[in-house]
Amino acid sequence: MAEFHLIIPASGSGIRFGSKTPKQFLKIDGTEILILTLNRFLSDKRIKSVYISAQRKYIGKIENLVQKYSIQKVKNVVEGGNFRQDSVYNSFKKINCPNDDRIIIHDAVRPFVSRKLLNNLLAASMDYDCVVPGLKLTDTIKLSNEKGIVIKTVPRENLWSIQTPQVFSYIKLRKAFEYAIRNKFIGTDEASLMEYAGFKVKVIEGELSNIKITTRKDLILK
């Protein structure tokens, strides 16, 4: 039976948040956001190992947090890269598992994912190369030129705002990474690497509450 392995890219610098401390280390109700995020996964027995990517100067800090909270499933904290894709790949390379295992990739600062959504994603991942959660767009979408002049209104019926966690076939994701590296392709998420490599990506309904903490307003909302 396939097992699951979690990668948390936590190399953010906090610039957009407006803080000298990266937002994954800020606290909500006394607990670091990174730990709150990890706690959403740690109790799930299907998840066998966890890998975290971070800037070199914060690796020790994360290792101390892992020890403080006695998180046994974290197997490695690795140095991140210039892009999210590089950071995830650095963790991915540390995973040694059967080809039919599944890889979960989740933003370090998305600490409100529900058990229901996680269950839906893990179940669907048994039938697809890649499964991602998303929210259907409800606003009117317009395409403009570089000067801000509208070119056209884009039909929104099949448009989604994509979230994490995203779940992948280990062997297919490995092939997608290798293909992207050979072709010097940089994607905004790992699902885009799968698309680029020709694999099918399945989107299922996400959750409004599954926000990514990007600005201080996001903390106020919660």
* Across 13-22, 116-125, 127-136, least confident range: 13-22
State the average pLDDT for the chain.
93
Check whether 208 has a pLDDT greater than 90: yes
Give the pLDDT confidence of 61-104 residue by residue, as tens digits: 999 999 999 999 999 999 999 999 999 999 999 999 999 999 99
Domain ranges, ordered by start, for the chain: 4-221
Residue 221 has pLDDT above 60, yes or no: no
The tens digit of pLDDT for each residue in 15-61 reads 555 567 889 999 999 999 999 999 999 999 999 999 999 999 999 99
**47: which strand partners?**
4
**Rounded Cα–Cα distance for residues 166 and 178 (Å):** 19
Percent helix, strand and coil across the chain, each rounded to 5? 30, 25, 45
Tell me how far apart the alpha carbons of residues 113 and 41 are, in angstroms, rounded to a whole number. Answer: 9
Average pLDDT rounded to a whole number, residues 115-134: 98
Q: Tell me the fold of 4-221.
A: Spore Coat Polysaccharide Biosynthesis Protein SpsA; Chain A (3.90.550)
Instruction: State the Cα–Cα distance between residues 129 and 91, nearest whole angstrom.
Output: 19
What pTM value is reported for the model?
A: 0.93
pLDDT at 195: 98
Amino acid at 111: P
b (16+ CB within 10 A) / e for 51-72? bbbbbeebbebbeebbeeeeee
Q: Are 5 and 104 within 8 A, CB to CB?
A: yes
Spatial contact of 189 and 162, defined as CB atoms under 8 Å apart: yes
